[in-house]
Amino acid sequence: MNFFKSKPRTPPDLVRGLRDALPRLEAGQPGSEVRRKAGEEVAKNLQQIKAILYGDGDPLPELVAQLATETYSTDLLYHLLVNIQRLEFEARKDVVQIFNNLLRRQIGARFPTVEYLSNKKEVLFAAFDGYKNEDVALNTGMILREMLRHEPLAKVLLQSEQFYTFPHYIETTTFGVSCDAFANLKETLTRHKAMVADYLDKNYDRFFSTYTTLIRSENYVTKRQSLKLLGEILLDRANFAVMTRYIADETNLKMMMNLLRDKSKNIQFEAFHVFKVFVANPKKPPQIEGILRRNKDKLLKFLKDFHNDKEDEQFSDEKQFLIGQIQNL
Amino acid sequence: MDSHHQDPEEFYVKQDRIGKGSFGEVYKGYDKRTQKTVAIKIIDLESAEDEIEDIQQEIQILSQLDSPHVTKYHGSFLKGSHLWIVMEYCSGGSCSDLMKPGVFREEYIAIIVRELLKGLEYLHSEGKLHRDIKAANILLSAGGDVKLADFGVSGQLSGTLSAKKNTFVGTPYWMSPEVIKQSGYDHKADIWSLGITAIELAKGEPPYAELHPMKVLFLIPKNPPPTLEGPFSKMFREFVSYCLQRDPRDRPSARDLLKHKFVRMAKKTSYLTELIERHERWKAEGGERVEEEERQHVEDIANSDPEDLWDFGTVRHAATVGRAQMNSIKVSGPPLTWENTGRAPSDDSEDSVSGGSSTLSRRGPSASTEATTVNSMTELPPLPTSSPSTSRKFDQQATIRNGSVAAAARRQPSDEYDDDYEDETNGYVAGAVNGRPPVDDELPDTTMLDSVVLPAIASLFPRVSTQEARVALSALQRAFTDAERIIPGVTMELINEIVDSVEHVEDDR
């Protein structure tokens, strides 16, 4: 009989209880009593940890601090991620919420969980590996997105070999997961501008040769979204140097000119917003100017009939500007 | 690259079309692996007005829901530019369909409302809002289980419940005052819509159904809340009045409402199968065929001007084939013993008009706050490629969808320090778009300008071919904006006048 049933368990008890229960999720046979009990123990502890972190809108800082310290010292976050596919539906959601809360925890200007994770890169890569399993990919995707808000963690991913497996996940998973992976790729490439600009400058060839595979994808969504993101990256002032290189390359111009004639109107439109940068460049390299000049008449005719049904004033202005530029070649 | 994992036809067989939702079409189908029936919602992303990111957000939300009171999400797949969203199939149909033979008796409504409250209790505890509660979005399983469907506009509340959404979504007749005023809202907005839905189930239509949706947009915030009138029990009327309180803080939560006598006394859900049987019988006796002919009539009229978005003329036409007439064909055979009044839903308002043709789409102010050149294309009002008037539902059902939903949803799950997005602007867009109009409780007036007039003019752009004509339309937009600035409220007054005169024309007919 348990006389102390109502006594609340301390944060270290909860974390250790959870940490110890996780390996038992695959003990014994599937469906065995050991596993069932471990599952219950895990679910219960996750709920209690969540309750401490979120309080009733009013968490106790002391308990939260104890809890955080204990999760770091037991590597709980890593073990939660590598076991997430063994958890029940609601327990998976609890894991996401616990991660998000801890990642946002701030003491003055410091983010203790971010500092911890910066030294434990395997946690971030465990979240990234969630894309290998569609059942959990949307949960781990949310955790990854929360991590990528923090520059040190985004930098870890951007500079890793794993970063170059994004296209694989984007191309081989079903729509929801593929979009989630793309959203995280976008997050990595757009949130921390100076850091990304520096990276792209130093890794220009490798990055763009990989990125081009997305633009050339057979998948409608991948093609459309990656083209749109390319436009955003190139038009960001932080990426001026990268843009200059991109628009000096005639292969890129040819690709965009072909995409302007894609069968999808949306893809044509996204391509326009990259194409315009080549034309607007006041210092066009000779090979770029050559292509534009060779196609001058065709381009003028093409642009005249291009998306005339758009009521977007800015688009019309930009199109008129391009027509002017091309006429003056 | 290997993309065969994505082909939906490897796993699912698409069968008959069963409906047309707020976006895309819905088919019945089955899972090849389990033979289980599913509902497949198909959206053509090439013509969808929503950004792909917004659709993905909705899928993300759906994927995290698991409740017997909410239609279950099975997965989503891409085929070309068509997205298949596979959901639980509810063979009983929607309450809106089930009401076609006549309104529901109070005791059935009590069961439905109790189940809806359970669904809302779940959603709200998950920090999510439905934002489009109405009979058309309530489905019944074969056994009478009640399921909330169509999270087309559901948004996730940011981490803390104190944070309120600030977007304009839903369907006018079911919208709460605070949603229309855009003064920020929370889960209590769903409680209001539930109250309106209860009236809809009892009377066949929501309050103000006879009025043009535009007019309703400012009557709801202006007038005292509607009440349930008619031969209904005191506890039912009291329940509705609890839901329909102007101040959201005065409305009880879903959990509290579950303790109300009206729902505590309700019977088991299996009784609802009687509504399904009634509908089957009505169909067998030709109810749907007559309805089909009426619908064809509406489509003929609508098709005569497929570009129509804000043409008041169609409102007038549609008015001639409202639900009142559709149901005027009496079902023969056994008397409908469960009918409370023995009357068809709208018999109590002889000149009843069912809604107007309007897929309101607000020119999303958020689109300007996160302006990148590419985003500007989302500012287009929805071109009526699939004309709202041809949809299976009454135009009344048109759900407002809005660019700012996306922006709000994107900040989930919590945006305590999400202060970015303004830095995404770039050299090409500086100053291209107006800032967001100030949101003010006392000024629903600009709503009329932003959500009705400017998009209406914008919808004319594709129909003109010369640059000169486009310039003229731009001038018209500017004139409205200027007038509104100098005479605040003038747009609303003007629309008021127009709507009034349209209604007079109807009266004269």
pTM score: 0.73
Question: Which residue in the list B50, B54, B97, B132 is annotated as catalytic?
Answer: B132
Interface touch B81/A309, C-beta < 8 Å:
no
Interface touch B52/A219, C-beta < 8 Å:
no
Tokens 């460049």 found at: A281
Interface confidence, given as ipTM, is 0.90
Q: Identify the sign of the CA torsion A162, A165, A167, A169.
A: negative
User: For an interface test with B, which of A311, A316, A319, A323 has the most B Cβ atoms less than 10 Å from its Cβ?
Assistant: A311
**Candidates B53, B372, B414; nearest CB to A232:** B372
**Candidates A175, A217, A264; nearest CB to B83:** A175
Instruction: For residue A102, give both structure tokens.
Output: 């801890």
In angstroms, the CA B126 to CA B64 distance is 9
Interface touch B465/A308, C-beta < 8 Å:
yes
- Contacts with B400 (C-beta within 8 Å, 6 or more apart), sequence order: B153, B168, B169, B170, B171, B172, B359, B360, B361, B362, B451
Rounded to a whole number, what is the distance in Å from the CA of B122 to chain A's nearest CA?
A: 12
Interface touch B162/A57, C-beta < 8 Å:
yes
Minimum CA–CA partner of B455 in chain A:
A311
Sheet bearing B146-148, strands edge to edge: B93-94, B138-140, B146-148
In angstroms, the CA B226 to CA B199 distance is 9
Domains and their CATH numbers in chain B: 8-88 (3.30.200.20), 93-161+168-285 (1.10.510.10), 460-503 (no CATH)
- Contacts with A324 (C-beta within 8 Å, 6 or more apart), sequence order: none
DSSP secondary structure string for all residues of B157-199: PPSSTT--B----B-GGG--HHHHHTS-B-THHHHHHHHHHHH
Contact B185, B248 (CB under 8 A): yes
Interface touch B6/A178, C-beta < 8 Å:
yes
Instruction: Report chain A residues whose CB lies below 8 A from the CB of B59.
Output: 175-176, 179
Instruction: Report chain A residues whose CB lies below 8 A from the CB of B427.
Output: 235, 237
Interface touch B2/A90, C-beta < 8 Å:
no
In angstroms, the CA B316 to CA B302 distance is 11
In angstroms, the CA A286 to CA B347 distance is 77
Q: Given this model, what pLDDT does residue B335 score?
A: 31
Inter-chain CB pairs, A–B, below 8 Å = 139
Interface touch B63/A176, C-beta < 8 Å:
yes
In angstroms, the CA A209 to CA A211 distance is 6
Diameter of chain B by CA atoms? Answer: 72
* B507 part of the active site: no
Rounding to the nearest 10 degrees, give the CA dihedral for residues A110, A113, A114, A120: 140
Q: Given this model, what pLDDT does residue B477 score?
A: 85
Contact B345, B103 (CB under 8 A): yes
Annotated binding site of B: 41
Q: Of the candidates B11, B54, B13, which has an alpha carbon nearest to the alpha carbon of residue B30?
A: B13
Interface touch A219/B3, C-beta < 8 Å:
yes
**Candidates B59, B413, B458; nearest CB to A100:** B413
Minimum CA–CA partner of A232 in chain B:
B372
Q: Of the candidates B4, B28, B153, B19, which has an alpha carbon nearest to the alpha carbon of residue B87?
A: B28
Contact B48, B23 (CB under 8 A): yes
Minimum CA–CA partner of B375 in chain A:
A228
Q: Given this model, what pLDDT does residue B430 score?
A: 29
Strand-pair partners of B328? none
Rounding to the nearest 10 degrees, give the CA dihedral for residues B424, B426, B428, B432: 60
Rounded to a whole number, what is the distance in Å from the CA of A295 to chain B's nearest CA?
A: 25
Q: Given this model, what pLDDT does residue B21 score?
A: 60
Minimum CA–CA partner of A217 in chain B:
B1
Contact B401, B49 (CB under 8 A): yes
Q: Given this model, what pLDDT does residue B353 score?
A: 33
In angstroms, the CA B497 to CA B401 distance is 26
Long-range CB pairs of A245-248, under 8 A, 24+ apart, other chains included: A245/A204, A246/A208, A246/A277, A247/A277, A247/A278, A247/A281, A247/A288, A248/A285, A248/A287, A248/A288
Per-residue pLDDT of chain A (329 residues; tens, 9 = 90+): 455 555 678 999 999 999 999 999 988 888 888 899 999 999 999 999 999 999 877 888 999 999 999 999 999 999 999 999 999 999 999 999 999 999 999 999 999 999 999 999 999 999 999 999 999 999 999 999 999 999 999 999 999 999 999 999 999 999 999 999 999 999 999 999 999 999 999 999 999 999 999 999 999 999 999 999 999 999 999 999 999 999 999 999 999 999 999 999 999 999 999 999 999 999 999 999 999 999 999 999 999 999 998 888 999 999 999 999 999 98
* Cis before B334 (ω within 30): no
Rounded to a whole number, what is the distance in Å from the CA of B39 to chain A's nearest CA?
A: 17
Interface touch A93/B64, C-beta < 8 Å:
yes
In angstroms, the CA A279 to CA B428 distance is 13
User: Which residue positions in chain B have pLDDT lower than 50?
Assistant: 1-4, 153-168, 299, 301-395, 401-444, 507-509
Rounding to the nearest 10 degrees, give the CA dihedral for residues B477, B481, B483, B484: 140
Interface touch A183/B56, C-beta < 8 Å:
yes
Instruction: Report chain A residues whose CB lies below 8 A from the CB of B425.
Output: none
User: For an interface test with B, which of A192, A220, A227, A232 has the most B Cβ atoms less than 10 Å from its Cβ?
Assistant: A220
In angstroms, the CA A20 to CA A11 distance is 14
Reduced to 3 states, what is the DSSP secondary structure of residue A172?
A: helix
Instruction: Report chain B residues whose CB lies below 8 A from the CB of A180.
Output: 56, 60
Instruction: Report chain B residues whose CB lies below 8 A from the CB of A53.
Output: none
Minimum CA–CA partner of A186 in chain B:
B53
Instruction: Report chain B residues whose CB lies below 8 A from the CB of A169.
Output: none
**Candidates A172, A265, A315; nearest CB to B1:** A172
Instruction: Report chain B residues whose CB lies below 8 A from the CB of A265.
Output: 46
Interface touch B426/A142, C-beta < 8 Å:
no
Minimum CA–CA partner of A175 in chain B:
B77
Instruction: Report chain A residues whose CB lies below 8 A from the CB of B423.
Output: 193
Rounded to a whole number, what is the distance in Å from the CA of A266 to chain B's nearest CA?
A: 7
Interface touch B2/A93, C-beta < 8 Å:
no
Minimum CA–CA partner of B432 in chain A:
A314
Instruction: Report chain B residues whose CB lies below 8 A from the CB of A231.
Output: 372-374
Rounded to a whole number, what is the distance in Å from the CA of B125 to chain A's nearest CA?
A: 13
Rounded to a whole number, what is the distance in Å from the CA of A1 to chain B's nearest CA?
A: 34
